[in-house]
Structure 1
Amino acid sequence: MSGDAHPGELGEFLKARRAELSPRTVGLPDSGVKRRVKGLRREEVALLASISTDYYTRLEQGRRQASAPVLDTLARVLHLDDEERAYLFEIAGRTVAGRSGRRPAQQVPPQLRRLLDELPTTPAMVLGRRMDVLAWNPMAAALLVDFSRIPERYRNYPWLVFRDPVMKSIHVEWEQTARACVAMLRREAGRHPQDQRMAQLVGELSMLDDDFRRWWGDHRVASHRGGSKVLRHPVAGDLTLDWEALACTDDPDMKLVVWTAEPGSPSHDGLRILASWQQPAAL
């Protein structure tokens, strides 16, 4: 069953992906003549996908819906990875219906809040739709920023990465973190194309931050699963931490994010120093 299509985003995504491919990459002859367009031409994509140029042009212009087989072929032609392929299907409306722009506010289950409290030496937080910070434990506040002092509407992880000076200063590899946030936020936007709060968030960040606006235009997508970060903390010192995002059973749009360090490492010792230093903060 089809979901909410987002034809404008579909067209922009297709343009961005074909702009990254050269004729040689996809097995087409390269005449060596300087090309007027970056990457593949529309007619070249259409040829490789065995569809008419007019059909493909209408897709990019948002004037035509694509079937699942055509999307599958385009994903192959444009060398999309698994995340990009899933995103392509979502913005084309080939997802489960029933996602509306007005959704009830997410509520963190009591058992999840208790779990946060049971992690006295491990930073942990709960992220919801749009990567909103819904709950956190004292260690997360001590490691990153005191979320309780931030107005609720700005209690959003990508917003803080781009707009909060403390969050910017502690991330040693800030650009890598910020780009990842943009890619994960775009993935969320693909899942919920009618989310009005998402549109507002993206619009505000695009107006306020040149980096966000430029990277949003790259149309990169990624899932919120896990990775590693390097932080420079004023109390705990330099920390290399692994993070993991665990989906909640009752709400797949809600994730428990946990930060850990290799046992016996300086980063592990740093977290213990931070645990002994921080004072419990009420959620």
Structure 2
Amino acid sequence: MTTVAPESDVRRHELAAFLRSRRERITPEQAGLPRGSRRRTPGLRREEVAQLASVGVTWYTWLEQARDIKVSPQVLDAIARTLLLDRSERTHLFSLSGAVDPTPGSTCPTVSPALAAMIEQLDPLPSCIQNSRYDILAYNRTYGQLFCDLDAVAPEDRNCMLLSYTNEDWRSSLVDLHEVHRLMAAKFRASMAEHLAEPAWKVLLKRLEAASPEFRELWARHEVVGPSARTKHFHNRHVGSLRVNHTDLWLGPSSGPRMVTYIPVDAESRDRLERLYRLAPATV
């Protein structure tokens, strides 16, 4: 009779082997350490990784020995930085650990070159790629000027929830601001139901609560609204009033990433979007 190891055991051994292989390829010089004359271990020693990542030596040793121990996302983040993991390796580390990356990169594997080219081809129709947390992962030229100068916003702050509550240009573009905010808070609560324990979601929620009394008041209502296509009214600072139909193209499960596109409902809005496209700076 053949015995199959539990998936958790397989993951721990894969994680242990992955960590050892990454540790052994990092030179002391790369980590900012002196090489010394009696070094026999290829790459870094376990105690050096533990010291640089600010974790216990015994704990890190157990991790490389595939022991059944709990690993926090914050510790994984420190280890990823110490081992100089690139984006793919970092994703692999968190996947093997069964954890969610608390500080994902500004780009996302969801945004393939084909998708990026597609939203560019949609200009002058404003279009972007968002995840379920409302992070803006990619956007075209017209979308970049629809609410604010999005290129001037730090990548980690390109989040529709955060911008609509804290960015004055974005806020001024929203007609009937309070109703928009009510719906956004309700949609965010509905989306967060599947991600309550994930660090990135909790960090965003804390930022919103700390930055906006209005968000705190709306969040306390516990209203929930699902995604839906609606006609929206914006006031762009460059071209004036715009009426558009909001459409979502889901790129996976309905709670996952999506392509958001705004279609003008009348000739005047279309003309103004074309003007906005001409006014927007060309991407490099």
Indicate the residue corresponding to 1:247 in structure 2.
Answer: 250
Identity of aligned residues (%): 21
Aligned length: 184
| CA distance, structure 2, for counterparts of residue 237 and residue 190 of structure 1 | 37
CA gap 1:152/1:279 in 2 versus in 1, 3 angstroms: closer
Q: Which residue of 2 aligns with 1:115?
A: 118
Are the counterparts in 2 of residues 184 and 222 from structure 1 also a CA contact under 8 Å?
Answer: yes
The answer on 1:130 being equivalent to 2:128 is: no
Q: Which amino acid in 1 is paired with 2:149?
A: D
TM-score, normalised to structure 1, is 0.60
Of 172, 184, 188, the residue aligned with 2:187 is 184
Following the alignment from structure 1 to structure 2, what is the Cα–Cα distance between the partners of residues 250 and 203? 26
Is the aligned partner of 1:227 residue 2:230? yes
Contact 2:130 2:136 in 1 (8 A): yes
Contact 1:125-1:135 at 8 Å conserved across structures: yes
| 1:83-106 Cα distance to aligned partner (Å, 9 max, x none) | xxxxxxxxxxxxxxxxx6515764
CA contact (8 A) 1:173 1:229 kept: no
- SS in structure 2 of the partner of residue 191 of structure 1: coil
C-alpha distance in structure 1 between counterparts of 2:238 and 2:149, whole Å:
14
| TM-score when normalising by structure 2 | 0.60
Task: Give 2:248's aligned amino acid.
Answer: A
Q: Which moved more, 1:183-192 or 1:133-142?
A: 183-192
Any gaps of 5 or more consecutive residues in structure 2?
Answer: 1-97
Separation in 2, partners of 1:101, 1:147: 30
Report the Cα offset of residue 275 of structure 1. Answer: 2.0
Q: Is the contact made by 2:191 and 2:255 (CA closer than 8 Å) also made in structure 1? A: no
- Map of 1:269 onto structure 2: 271
Q: Which has the larger radius of gyration?
A: 2
> Which runs of no fewer than 5 residues in structure 1 stay unpaired?
1-99
Aligned residue for 2:171, secondary structure, equals helix
Write the deviation string for residues 145-201 of structure 1: whole angstroms up to 9, x where unpaired: 232221222111000000000001111211111111111111121011111111111
Q: Which residue of 1 aligns with 2:260?
A: 257
Amino acid at match of 2:258: K
Which one of 153, 160, 167 corresponds to residue 150 of structure 1?
153
CA separation of 1:258 and 1:197: change in aligned 2, threshold 3 A: same
